[in-house]
Structure 1
Amino acid sequence: MANKVEVKELLEAGVHFGHMTRKWDPNMAPYIYMERNGIHIINLYKTAAKIEEANEALKKIAASGRKVLFVATKKQAKDIVAEKAAACNMPYITERWPGGMLTNFVTIRKAIKKMASIDRMKKDGTFNTLSKKEKLQIERLRAKLEKNLGSIADMTRLPAALFVVDIKAEHIAVKEAKKLNIPVFAMVDTNSDPRQVDFVIPANDDASKSIDKVLSLVSSSIVEGLSDRKAEKDEQPAEAPAVQAEANASEE
Structure 2
Amino acid sequence: MAKTDAKALLEAGVHFGHRTDKWNPKMKPFIYEARNGIHIINLSKTAEQIDAAAKFLRTTASEGGRILFVGCKKASQEAVKETAARSGAFYVCERWLGGTLTNLNTIRKSVARMRSIDAMEGGKFKEMPKQEVAALRREVAKLHKNLDGIQNMERQPDAMVIVDITREEIALKEAQRLKIPVVAITDTNADPELVQFPIPANDDAIRSIRIILQALGDAIVEGTNAGGKKRGGKEEARAAESLAGVSA
Fold match (TM-score > 0.5): yes
Query: Cα deviations across residues 129-185 of structure 1 (Å, max 9, x unaligned)?
Result: 222222112111110100111111111111111111111111111011101111111
Partner residue in 2 for 1:160: 158
The match for 1:98 is 97
Moved more, 220-229 or 230-239: 230-239
User: Match of 1:7?
Assistant: 6
Which residue is equivalent to 1:200? 198
| Aligned-partner Cα distance in 1 for 2:225–2:177 | 31
* 1:127 Cα deviation from its structure 2 partner: 3.1
Distance 1:243 1:55 in 2: 36
* Distance (Å, rounded) in 2 between the aligned partners of 1:120 and 1:240: 42
* Residue 248 (structure 1) shift: 5.7
Measure, in 1, the Cα distance between the counterparts of 2:245 and 2:57. 36
| C-alpha distance in structure 2 between counterparts of 1:162 and 1:241, whole Å | 36
What CA distance in whole angstroms lies between the structure 2 residues aligned with 1:55 and 1:17?
22
TM-score when scaled to structure 1?
0.93
After TM superposition, the structure 1 stretch with the greater mean CA deviation from structure 2, 62-71 or 176-185, is 62-71
> Matches of 2:161 and 2:57 in 1, distance apart?
9
Question: Which residue number corresponds to residue 218 of structure 1?
Answer: 216
SS for the counterpart of 2:165 is coil
Distance in 1 of aligned mates of 2:126 and 2:2: 53
How many aligned residue pairs are there?
Answer: 248
Measure the CA separation in 2 of the matches of 1:241 and 1:172: 47
Tell me the CA shift for residue 237 of structure 1: 4.1
Q: Deviations over 1:183-232 (max 9, x none)?
A: 11100001111111111101111111111110111111011111112222
Residue matched to 2:119: 120
Query: Which sits farther off after the overlay, 64-73 or 231-240?
Result: 231-240
Tell me which residue corresponds to 2:87: 88
The CA distance in 1 between the partners of 2:150 and 2:227, in whole Å, is 21
Amino acid at match of 2:219: S
Partners of 1:129 and 1:189 lie apart in 2 by 53
Output one character per residue of 1:95-134: Cα deviation in whole Å (capped at 9) or x when no partner: 12101111111101110111112223337x2333222222
**Within 2, Cα distance between the matches of 1:216 and 1:196?**
23
Structure 2 unaligned residues grouped into runs of 5+:
none
Decide whether aligned partners of structure 1 residues 241 and 89 sit closer, same or farther in structure 2, where only a CA change above 3 A counts.
Answer: closer
Q: Distance in 1 between matches of 2:51 and 2:31?
A: 18
TM-score (normalizing by structure 2): 0.94
Equivalent residue letter for 1:231: K
Q: Distance between the aligned counterparts of 1:108 and 1:26, measured in 2?
A: 37
Structure 1 distance, partners of 2:224, 2:33, is: 38
Q: Which runs of 5+ in 1 are unaligned?
A: none
Tell me the equivalent position of 2:133: 135
**Rounded Cα–Cα distance in structure 1 between residues aligned with 2:162 and 2:124:** 40
Distance 1:99 1:248, change over 3 A: same
Q: Which amino acid aligns with 2:175?
A: A
| CA distance in structure 2 between the partners assigned to 1:116 and 1:110 by the alignment | 10
Structure 1 SS opposite 2:18:
strand
Separation of aligned partners in 1, 2:42 and 2:246: 60
- The offset of 1:64, in angstroms, is 2.1
Q: Which runs of 4+ in 1 moved over 6 A?
A: none
